[in-house]
Amino acid sequence: MSSSFQSVQKECRGWIVQLLFRSLNYILWLQDLLDETMPEEQEIAGIDIGVGASCIYPLLGCATRSNWKFMGTGQDIDERSIQYARKNVMRNHLEDRIKIKHNDNPERILLLDGDESSREEIDEGLQNKELEPSAVCTGTDNEMITTGGEYGFIKRMINESLTYKTRIKWYTSMMGQKKTIKPLVDLLKSMDVRTVRRSVILFTLAYLQITNYVVTEFCQGRTKRWGIAWSFDSTRVVCAKSLDSYRPKSQFSIHFSKPVIDVQSMLKDILNDLDITFTERDEVTVEGEPVSNTWSRAARRQKKLKLDSSSQLQDTEPLFAFRFEFLETADCEIRVSWMRGKDRAIFESFWNHIKKRLEEGCGIIHGSAFAK
């Protein structure tokens, strides 16, 4: 790694060493987010906001992933820092993958708009790509000072993200203060997208909570930093490092004192009974995408009456995607993950139904049993 960033270290020797490894932790976390939620080998275009003289995040990203490109933008930074950043790009021979631009619009953080003219601000190589921006200030005083502090800066990012939504896969930022996390999470959960539906005389507002978000912690020596990421996409992050205390769980597990093969058989019987098509990806993994809530009481009553609703399910978008994994420890552990979907409540109702029936099959009864 040292040889890859030799020229960067020459320019910024005073603080680059400690910054390098902290920044690498952040880049590796971004890689984990993208690996879980995007197709393998897809070209990634990122925006680094407040790129700084070192250009450290684009350099690290491109050095560790050959399919990444970056546009680094600077708003409240001096021309000298911009020039240093461009020199560092050239010395690492990455001019074809990293572009540095000065953002002279104080009203915008992201150099994107819905119109075609604004797209021309971005290098041709970044047009119409999935964007995965990182936003963190890493340099001189005028780079690191922003109105409202880091909370104010990330709040502006969140507000701007309501305009772009799924045009950008992940919006991310690093935080230097743990106390910033909760207000930002509360903000994400209470965002008002203000989509106005017009009728002859009625105006109604549609509200949206941003529920797909992740918070993580980076430790480098005695220094701690935190990362936050949010997305308008329905694909959920399960494996990437996160602090689950700041978000509802996407993964649940339960233990049974029965052999794995017996619990697997029970699960498949339950899924078949619910008319849920599933795939056995390997010997210990079962995946599926329900297209209808067949586990509700109403659905079970309908099935008893033998009412056929299959014709209504053709070409229906799945409610969510799930994955069951069987872990053979001292007993049998079954773990379920919410892989994709927008409605957490329906996934949790599905899991509660499955769990109760598995418990019954293993002789564990809580309250009334399901009617056979």
CATH of residue 90: 3.40.50.150
Among 198, 224, 246, give the residue marking a domain's end. 246
Asked whether residue 199 is assigned to any structural domain, the reply reads yes
Of residues 326 and 198, the one with the higher pLDDT is 326
- Which value, to the nearest 10 degrees, does the dihedral of the CA atoms of residues 353, 358, 363, 365 take? -10
Q: Would you state the pLDDT for residue 218?
A: 93
Q: Is residue 119 part of a domain?
A: yes
What the block records as the tokens of 264 is 């697997």
DSSP 8-state symbol, 293 = -
pLDDT tens digits, 26-35: 999 999 999 9
How confident is the model over 123-163, as pLDDT tens digits?
A: 443 433 333 433 333 333 333 445 678 999 999 999 999 98
pLDDT digits (tens, 9 = 90+) for 283-337: 899 999 999 999 988 877 777 676 555 545 555 789 999 999 998 777 899 999 9
Distances, alpha carbon 136 to alpha carbons 112, 205, 247, in Å: 18, 33, 22
The token pair at 160 is 């701007």
- CATH assignment at residue 332: 3.30.310.80
- Return d(Cα 92, Cα 77) in angstroms, integer: 22
CB 351: neighbour CB atoms within 10 A? 19
CA 203 to chain centre: 33
- Give residue-wise pLDDT tens across range 88-114: 999 999 999 999 988 877 777 876 654
Task: Tell me the average pLDDT across 185-192.
Answer: 82
The confidence score (pLDDT) of residue 262 equals 92
Cross-strand bridge partners of residue 206: 195
Q: Do 216 and 354 belong to one domain?
A: no
The per-residue pLDDT for 5 is 52
Same domain, 10 and 51: yes
41 and 124 fall within a common domain? yes
Mean pLDDT in residue range 338-363: 93
In whole angstroms, what is the distance from residue 180 CA to residue 149 CA? 10
Query: Is 370 a member of any domain?
Result: no
At 203-260, the pLDDT tens digits run 333 445 788 999 999 988 788 999 999 999 999 998 888 888 888 788 999 999 999 9
What is the mean predicted confidence (pLDDT) over 8-36?
78
pLDDT digits (tens, 9 = 90+) for 41-93: 889 999 999 888 889 999 999 999 999 999 998 766 678 888 899 999 999 99
pLDDT of residue 12 exceeding 70:
no
Which of 111, 52, 68 lies closest to 60, judged by CA?
Answer: 68
Identity of the amino acid at 192: D
Band (274; pLDDT cuts 50, 70, 90): very high
- Mean pLDDT computed over 6-31: 73
- Looking at the structure, do residues 99 and 231 belong to the same domain, yes or no? yes
- Report the pLDDT value the prediction gives residue 53, as an integer from 0 to 100: 87
Domain that holds residue 337: 251-361
pLDDT of residue 365: 57
- Alpha carbon distance 49, 112 (integer Å): 12
Q: Is residue 13 pLDDT above 60, yes or no?
A: no
Under DSSP, is residue 237 helix (H, G, I), strand (E, B) or coil? Answer: coil
In this structure, is residue 301 part of a structural domain?
Answer: yes
Write b or e for each residue in 101-130: b if 16 or more Cβ atoms lie within 10 A of its Cβ, otherwise e: bbbeeeebbbbbeeeeeeeeebbeebeebb
220 and 287 housed in the same domain: no
Separation between Cα atoms, residue 258 and residue 331, nearest integer Å = 7
pTM, two decimals, is 0.77
Number of domains in the chain: 2
